[in-house]
Amino acid sequence: MKKHLEVRNLTKIFDMHILNNKKIIAFENINFTLNRGKFLGISGKSGYGKSSLIRCIYRNYDSTSGDILLFDNNGESVNLAKISDPEMLIIREKRMGYVSQFFTPLPRVTTMNLVIEPLIDKGWLKDDAIQRASELFKLFDIPGNLWDAYPSTFSGGEKQRINLMKTLIDCPEILLLDEPTASLDARNRGIILEIVKELKKQNITMLGIFHDQMEMETLADEILAIKRPGEYHDETHSADIEVKQEAKKEFIFQL
């Protein structure tokens, strides 16, 4: 198996300047290796730094110490914790996608234009981009009369589906998922789970947080259990990983 992402001794400490420079440890000494095409689930209690870990990998947050190595097919790596902001923006554009549990769309951009934007930026013809987006709209059960509406007026669940579509339409090589099913009903959670399974079949590497433990165990090849900061110091035990079997099922949408 080829390595795709490797995290070494990663720590994030927040400096609270408005609280007399109080330091809050989000997580410390995280270590794991994620192979290409695999799904690593992240588990842990609220406040243990799960989302902060994903945001450090995507560089929404700067890590305090440690390394985040992203590998290409030739085994060459780039350290996401060390590269410049412009270099990280290129990584985001070409190689990495991120789906947050929060989504605030631009107020006067239609749903269709929002979803096809990543394809247009890469040179797709607009008609081809719209055709691909239309398949996703149907899959995600977005009514046709909403395709040219403004998603800023949608419900929370509808916004989250648009958020997912915008990221999935371009199929990045590695995908970070921060509770993508948090605002969805049971039917749409099931749709998202099937999409994630299909992405795995197509060799998309994923790192994700799911609130529902059964969803996590269904999707994850391995689970990284984040502990409370300070409970571990030996780096060989800083990430407890247990292997899960992936459920296999055919899916109708070809990416």
Q: Which of 5, 61, 12 is nearest to 208 (CA)?
A: 5
Please give the helix or strand (H or E) that residue 26 lies within, else none: strand 22-35
**Residue 184 one-letter amino acid:** L
CA–CA gap between residue 38 and residue 53 (Å, rounded): 18
φ and ψ of 17, to 5 deg? -65, -30
Please give the helix or strand (H or E) that residue 178 lies within, else none: strand 174-178
Go through the chain and tell me how many residues it has: 255
How confident is the model at residue 16, as a pLDDT?
79
Name the β-bridge partners of 207: 40, 176
Q: Which of 234, 237, 165, 241 is nearest to 207 (CA)?
A: 241
How confident is the model at residue 230, as a pLDDT?
61
Residue pLDDT tens, the chain, 255 long: 799 999 999 999 998 777 777 888 899 999 999 999 999 999 988 888 999 999 999 999 999 999 999 999 999 999 999 999 999 999 998 899 998 877 766 778 899 999 999 899 888 999 999 999 998 888 777 888 889 988 877 877 777 788 888 888 887 889 999 988 876 778 778 877 887 887 888 888 999 998 888 888 888 999 999 887 665 433 333 344 444 433 333 333 444
How confident is the model at residue 237, as a pLDDT?
32
φ and ψ of 112, to 5 deg? -60, -50
* CA dihedral for 100, 196, 174, 245, sign (positive or negative): positive
Show the DSSP H helices in the chain as ranges: 50-58, 85-94, 111-121, 126-139, 156-168, 186-201, 213-219
Sequential DSSP letters for 191-204: HHHHHHHHHHHTT-
- DSSP for residue 145: G
CA–CA gap between residue 110 and residue 115 (Å, rounded): 9
Which pTM does this prediction carry? 0.81
Q: Which of 219, 210, 161 is nearest to 185 (CA)?
A: 161
CB 116 within 8 A of CB 133: yes
